[in-house]
A and B are shown apart, each in its own frame.
Chain A
Amino acid sequence: KAGVTQTPRYLIKTRGQQVTLSCSPISGHRSVSWYQQTPGQGLQFLFEYFSETQRNKGNFPGRFSGRQFSNSRSEMNVSTLELGDSALYLCASTSSASGGLSSYNEQFFGPGTRLTVL
């Protein structure tokens, strides 16, 4: 079974530009979450999508957005890039449909997209 795929793996942009990152979850997984990892702030939750709907959102400005397609693939977009947006962006997929006590399933993480903003 193929793992979580993220494209591209590396990206260099300049301030003010926008960027779109892609995540393909494990086949059959319907939930996709995004995290930002930086040396200063560590790992922070961005948002989670399930069945094309955003279910949870972290504390990030509106420049950060995402979407999920009917095949569960997800994209995240960052507009008007700032230097501080340089980070490793991780995507995680899980098969669980709900957050119930007995239904938690492991989040499988992709290798990440390394975004550098110059």
Chain B
Amino acid sequence: AQSVTQLGSHVSVSEGALVLLRCNYSSSVPPYLFWYVQYPNQGLQLLLKYTTGATLVKGINGFEAEFKKSETSFHLTKPSAHMSDAAEYFCAVSAGSSGSARQLTFGSGTQLTVLP
């Protein structure tokens, strides 16, 4: 079974400041990990994913995340926030290479506010 915990349901940063959204996971098998972004009245867009290989993953819009197995974490960062980054962000895990790899388990989401 998999589970995801996102620390902080709301995060506010100033424009130009570092963005750090926290995600910890639990998985009984080697996990696949994902970050999605959701803008109002829209579906989910994949920012980045970790499956295997390099633990530092770069995604779209300047975001990156590092898979730390020892800490069971997959935190999302961006060096400099932009107003357009304001949205809700979801961390998700799937059961790796098992047959249910497309069954995503999502965290509760973090609403990012970017202040001018």
Interchain nearest-CB distance for A30 vs B (Å): 11
Known: A42-B108, A43-B106. A104 touches B99 (CB 8 A): no
Give CA–CA (A112, B98) in the complex, Å: 27
| Interface SS, B side | loop
- 1/0 per residue, CB under 8 A from A, across B94-115: the answer is 1111111111111111000000
* Cβ-defined partner of B104 (8 Å) among A45, A96, A108: A45
Beta-carbon contacts under 8 Å, A22-53 to B: 31, 33, 35, 42-45, 48
With A109-B43, A111-B41, A112-B43: A101-B52 Cβ-Cβ less than 8 Å: yes
Interface core residue of A44, A99, A109 (most chain B CB under 10 Å): A99
Contacting pair B42 A56 (CB below 8 A): no
Are A109's CB and B44's CB within 8 A?
Answer: yes
Contact B96 A45 (CB under 8 A): no
In the complex the two chains form, is A99's CB within 8 Å of B101's CB?
yes
Q: Collect the chain B residues with CB atoms within 8 Å of residue A43's CB.
A: 90, 92, 104, 106, 109
Q: Are B103 and A56 in contact (CB under 8 A)?
A: yes
Closest Cβ of chain A to B34, distance in Å, is 9
Query: Which residues of chain B are within 8 angstroms of A48 by Cβ–Cβ distance?
Result: 102-103
Interface residues on B, range: 20 to 34
A94 adjacent to B44 (CB under 8 Å) = no
Decide: A111 near B103, CB < 8 A? Known: A101-B96, A101-B97, A104-B51.
no
Complex interface: chain A residues within 8 A of B42 (CB) = 111-112
Interface string of A66-110 (1 = CB under 8 A from B): 000000000000000000000000101010101111101011111
**Closest partner residue, chain B, to A99 (CB atom):** B101
Partner of A99, one of B97, B105, B106: B97
Contact status B43-A104, CB under 8 Å: no
How many angstroms from the CA of A31 to the CA of B97 in the assembled complex? 16
Task: List 7 other contacts, CB 8 Å, given A45-B105, A96-B101, A99-B95.
Answer: A42-B106, A42-B107, A43-B92, A45-B104, A55-B99, A92-B44, A104-B101
Contact sample, A vs B, 22 pairs, CB 8 Å cutoff: A33-B102, A33-B103, A42-B107, A42-B108, A43-B106, A43-B109, A56-B102, A90-B44, A94-B102, A96-B101, A100-B97, A101-B52, A101-B96, A104-B32, A104-B101, A104-B102, A107-B46, A107-B104, A108-B46, A109-B36, A111-B41, A111-B42
